[in-house]
Structure 1
Amino acid sequence: MTPQSDEDEVWRQIVASFNDTAERDSADQPWPDSENVPAEPQARRVVRPAETEHDDDHAEAAADGDEDEGHFEPPPPPPLPKLDLVTKVAWVALFGGPAYLLVAAMADWQMEGWALFTAVAAFIGGFVALVVRMGDGPPGDSGWDDGAVL
């Protein structure tokens, strides 16, 4: 017999015994009866910590707002960069062209050929202007080696 035929035989046995029931009794289970799924519910006991002087001081400090431990307040975000006129016009063209077409279609306006051409050209021109102005070089303040900072 080859190793492949042995493996095939093992798989046939696994598939043939897939729907067979287990031969074990519930008494032969390897775990205690307390862990069986239909176990009886056990009585529960609630344990509360004893109050101490430290707890009272902490409660007073929290009420006063003096101690703000564990509360994270992120720093304010940096201001948005100032955009030059060309970038502002490109963004307006990028969103303004499709917005005009959408409003005109929803309002069922009769669109002239030049208006349609202008809206599509504004969208394409705004996109191209933004892509061209993106810049693909490293930032100017990256230093001489442009590597990781440890």
Structure 2
Amino acid sequence: MTPQSDEDEVWRQIVASFNDTAERDSADQPWPDSENVPAEPTRRVVKPPEEPEPDEDPEIDDPEIDDPEKDDENEGHFEPPPPPPLPKLDLPTKLAWVALFGGPAYLLVAAMASWHMEGWALFTAVAAFIGGFVALVVRMGDDRPNDSGWDDGAVL
């Protein structure tokens, strides 16, 4: 017998025994029988709660009562409250933001427009970006609030 025919015979045996059930002793199972999944899963039927029958139509003509048709239109719609106003910035902070974005913006526009840039203009744009960044970081501050107390705990 050749090695190829041995392999073919092994494959035929594997294919022939594919659908055979393995006979195992319960001691061979790695988990207890109580944790085996039942053959057919049990189904839970949940009935929706019964709604009481509606009484007669209310005869109150109150504008505070919502119209059911209007409720259907607004269902699922959330309108958030208006955001709080932005904090007021002082002049040095405004200048730092302008320098932070203005320097790279000038370089980008000049590059896209193929403007000839002098060395001092390049230096000024890069210095403005770096200076604006440093100014904002320095002004950021890491002071604790005045009402934080002695324990350095969470402040809500």
TM-score, normalised to structure 1, is 0.56
Matched with 2:143 is 137
Matched with 1:83 is 89
Q: Report the alpha carbon displacement of residue 110 of structure 1 after superposing the two structures with TM.
A: 0.3
Give the alignment of 1:15-94 within 5 angstroms.
Answer: 21-24=18-21, 31-32=39-40, 52-53=53-54, 61-63=67-69, 72-94=78-100
CA distance in 1, matches of 2:127, 2:155: 44
Would the alpha carbon gap of residues 127 and 50 (structure 1) be closer, same or farther in structure 2, given more than 3 Å must change? closer
Q: Report the alpha carbon displacement of residue 136 of structure 1 after superposing the two structures with TM.
A: 0.8
Q: Report the alpha carbon displacement of residue 134 of structure 1 after superposing the two structures with TM.
A: 0.3
CA contact (8 A) 2:100 2:130 kept: yes
Question: Structure 1: which amino acid aligns with 2:88?
Answer: K
CA distance in 1, matches of 2:99, 2:142: 23
CA contact (8 A) 2:99 2:132 kept: yes
Matched with 2:153 is 147
Tell me which stretches of 4 or more aligned residues in structure 1 moved more than 4 Å: 49-52, 68-72, 143-146
Q: Which is higher, the Rg of structure 1 or of structure 2?
A: 2
Structure 1: runs of 5+ lacking an equivalent: 1-16, 33-48
Would the alpha carbon gap of residues 63 and 83 (structure 1) be closer, same or farther in structure 2, given more than 3 Å must change? same
Structure 2: runs of 5+ lacking an equivalent: 1-13, 23-37, 41-49, 59-65
CA distance in 2, matches of 1:144, 1:80: 31
Question: Structure 2: which amino acid aligns with 1:24?
Answer: T
**CA-atom RMSD in angstroms:** 4.1
Cα-to-partner distance string for 1:4-33 (whole Å, 9 max, x where unaligned): xxxxxxxxxxxxx9xx834239xxxx635x
CA contact (8 A) 2:96 2:131 kept: yes
Which segment is superposed worse, 129-138 or 74-83? Answer: 74-83
CA contact (8 A) 2:100 2:131 kept: yes
